[in-house]
Each structure stands twice: as structure tokens, then as C-alpha cells.
């Protein structure tokens, strides 16, 4: 497919307008030099514009549209207490004039209303803190919200659900077209794309790559260790995208390169020394802010892959900044060394 054909194909799906797109693509010469090559370009999806931006904005344009098509007047979500998805969902609901109800995990960052949790409140979402071990166990709480709201005569829609992932990934199939056009305008050919992803973002880029026939490696750095096989889960999303769009694009496990090697021993929601060092490096070399749980760890993974020679010093790498900077303010002690 051509870029215009892929855009036209996805353009037939329900969508709401939320983001400032396309986002910038910038060269990071001082960071590139600091890590000994390769040439690094950063895709600024922290600049999508919705309540401090982030990658979820592209996804929500399609996933929320699924709910609004069904007449939803309340959007339901749920994740960790410092969830970027919940923050952007809250903002999108406010922008679109519908309510938002969230179930978030009672975790080590839920006691103080700070960072994304503060923004959820400012944006008008109702937030229920649920005592479960992981966000994978929030389904019962989201179902309870659904049932209660229905009993009150509302028409709720759960945005954050597995069935919605293929639609969310459409936003990043379109992002792939942006990256390619911007690289071409700069006279660059990306050999590798590195990003933080454990759900919709990487599958969307993979779909765009395969549909367009592009020879670019896509490396996902997972922020969380799921209980399921992430390659298999991504293949399910990718195949459903093909079905929804009615296009003949096939996928196999080798298309999915995703590692959880940089999550850290304590797991999701906890910083790593390497991630914090990486985000400080980006801040002090390029004046760009990452955060502790997603982009900091993803950059740490990129740096490590360069050190190991898995990414060559002569390559051109696009690092996708998936946002999340409001969470920095909930991690001030960790970032200042008061552990």
C-alpha cells in the first residue's frame, strides 16, 4: 500500500479529533554523541496536546469513537494510579462533553494526590481507588462501574478493554506514515524505531510497516510484565486490524520484537537507576523531559542495545517519545535520590 492508500483505508473508521498532529520529529545530536552514535531522531508524541499529551491521544481518537458511536455518555477506564491513559481519557471526556469514571489500582503512588492522579481530578473524572495487586485485575471493578452507571440510567462504555485495542492501534499505523514522510523530508531513512509499548502503540507501528512494505526494525521496550504472551497478544491485535480494514496483511511472531528486560526488579510503576540516568541524560543533552516508568526505561533500553552492538553506531534511530511527563512530579523523591 502507499501512504495515501493506508490513510484512506483507516479514514473510513469512526474517529474523534483530539490531537495536535502531526507531532514534530527532531534530531538529537548531543544525545547521539553522548551514547556514541547512532543518529537519534525523536518523535515528539509528548506534544499531542491533550492534557500534557502522550501516545494515548492517538489511540483515544479511535477507541472513544467506538463508544460515541454507541451513544455513550460516560467513558470508563482503569489502570495504575499514575496512568497516562487515564489522564488523557479524562481530558478527552472533558473535551467531548461526556463523563469519565476511573478505577485505579491502590499502589505506592495512590496515597498522595499528585502527578496524573491530580490531573484526573482536575479534569473532572470520578476516581475509585481499588485494592488489587495489578491493573490486570481491574476488570471486576470496571464491570461494577458499568453496572452501577447503567442502573442510574446512564449509557457507559468501557474504553480500556481488549476488544478496543485494534482500534487504538490504528492511531499508530497513521503515526508510521508521519514518521516516514518526516524522515523523507529530512533526507533520512530510519533503520530502527524504539519505543515503550505494552499494548496498542507498537502493534500500530508494525501494522504500518507491513502494510507499507517498509524495511525498518521496530523494538518495543515493555513497561510491565504481563501474565500473558505479549507476542501472541500483539498478533491478535494485528490480525484484527487487517480484518477491520479488509486488507490482506499477514503477521507472524517474528514481526513482534518486544522485551521486558528493562522493567526492573520491582516491576511496573517503580523506577530503575538506569531509567532515571537515561532521562537525566536526555534532559541535560537535549532539554527534553522523559519520565521514570515508560520513556526513561525505553531510552535506557536503547542505550543498552547500542552498548551491546545490537543497534549499530551507523544507524538512524527514531525514538518515539510516548509522553507521561506529569508523573515526574509524583516521583520527586526517587529522582532526587531520597529512596
Active site (catalytic) residues? 83
Indicate the pairing of strand 217-221 with strand 257-259.
parallel
Element (H, E) at 296: helix 295-308
**Positive or negative, the Cα torsion across 249, 254, 257, 261?**
positive
Indicate the pairing of strand 39-44 with strand 25-27.
antiparallel
**Closest to 203 measured CA to CA, from 264, 159, 158, 244:** 244
Q: Cα dihedral angle (121, 126, 132, 137), rounded to 10 degrees?
A: -120
Count of residues for the chain? 339
Q: Which residues, 6 or more positions from 106, have their beta carbon under 8 angstroms from its beta carbon?
A: 81, 129, 130, 131, 132
Indicate the pairing of strand 217-221 with strand 126-130.
unpaired
**Closest to 86 measured CA to CA, from 119, 40, 134:** 119
Contact 45, 175 (CB under 8 A): yes
The SS3 call for residue 262 is: coil
d(CA 57, CA 193): 20
Sheet holding 126-130, edge to edge: 126-130, 99-105, 74-79, 156-158
Strand partners, 221: 196, 259
- Omega before 38 cis (within 30°)? yes
Residue 289 burial (C-beta neighbours within 10 Å; 0-12, 13-18, 19+): middle
Amino acid at each position: 500500500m502507499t501512504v495515501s492508500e493506508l490513510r484512506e483505508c483507516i479514514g473510513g473508521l469512526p474517529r474523534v479529533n483530539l490531537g495536535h498532529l502531526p507531532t514534530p520529529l527532531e534530531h538529537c545530536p548531543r544525545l547521539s554523541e553522548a551514547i556514541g552514535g547512532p543518529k537519534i531522531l525523536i518523535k515528539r508524541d509528548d506534544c499531542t496536546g491533550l492534557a500534557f499529551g502522550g501516545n494515548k491521544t492517538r489511540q483515544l481518537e479511535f477507541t472513544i469513537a467506538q463508544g460515541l458511536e454507541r451513544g455513550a455518555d460516560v467513558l470508563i477506564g482503569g489502570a495504575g494510579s499514575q496512568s497516562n491513559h487515564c489522564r488523557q481519557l479524562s481530558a478527552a471526556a472533558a473535551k467531548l462533553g461526556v463523563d469519565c469514571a476511573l478505577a485505579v489500582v491502590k499502589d505506592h503512588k495512590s496515597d498522595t494526590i499528585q502527578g496524573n492522579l491530580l490531573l484526573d481530578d482536575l479534569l473532572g473524572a470520578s476516581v475509585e481507588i481499588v485494592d488489587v495487586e495489578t491493573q490486570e485485575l481491574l476488570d471486576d471493578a470496571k464491570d461494577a462501574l458499568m453496572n452501577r452507571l447503567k442502573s442510574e440510567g446512564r449509557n457507559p462504555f468501557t474504553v480500556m478493554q481488549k476488544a478496543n485495542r485494534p482500534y487504538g492501534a490504528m492511531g499508530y499505523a497513521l503515526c508510521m506514515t508521519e514518521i516516514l514522510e518526516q524522515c523523507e523530508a529530512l533526507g533520512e531513512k530510519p533503520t530502527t524505531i524504539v519505543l515503550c509499548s505494552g499494548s496498542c502503540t507498537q502493534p500500530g507501528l508494525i501494522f504500518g510497516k507491513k502494510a507499507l512494505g517498509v524495511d525498518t526494525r521496530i523494538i518495543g521496550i515493555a513497561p510491565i510484565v504481563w501474565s500473558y504472551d505479549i507476542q501472541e497478544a500483539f498478533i491478535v491485535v494485528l490480525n484484527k486490524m487487517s480484518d477491520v480494514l479488509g486488507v490482506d496483511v499477514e503477521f507472524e511472531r517474528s514481526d513482534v520484537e518486544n522485551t521486558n528486560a528493562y522493567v526492573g526488579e520491582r516491576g511496573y510503576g517503580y523506577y530503575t537507576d538506569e531509567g532515571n540516568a537515561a532521562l537525566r541524560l536526555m534532559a541535560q543533552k537535549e532539554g527534553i523531559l522523559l519520565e521514570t516508568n515508560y520513556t526513561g526505561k525505553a531510552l535506557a533500553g536503547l542505550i543498552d542495545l547500542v552498548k551491546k552492538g545490537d543497534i549499530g553506531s551507523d544507524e538512524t534511530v527514531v525514538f518515539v517519545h510516548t509522553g507521561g511527563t506529569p508523573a515526574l512530579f509524583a516521583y520527586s523523591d526517587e529522582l532526587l535520590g531520597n529512596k
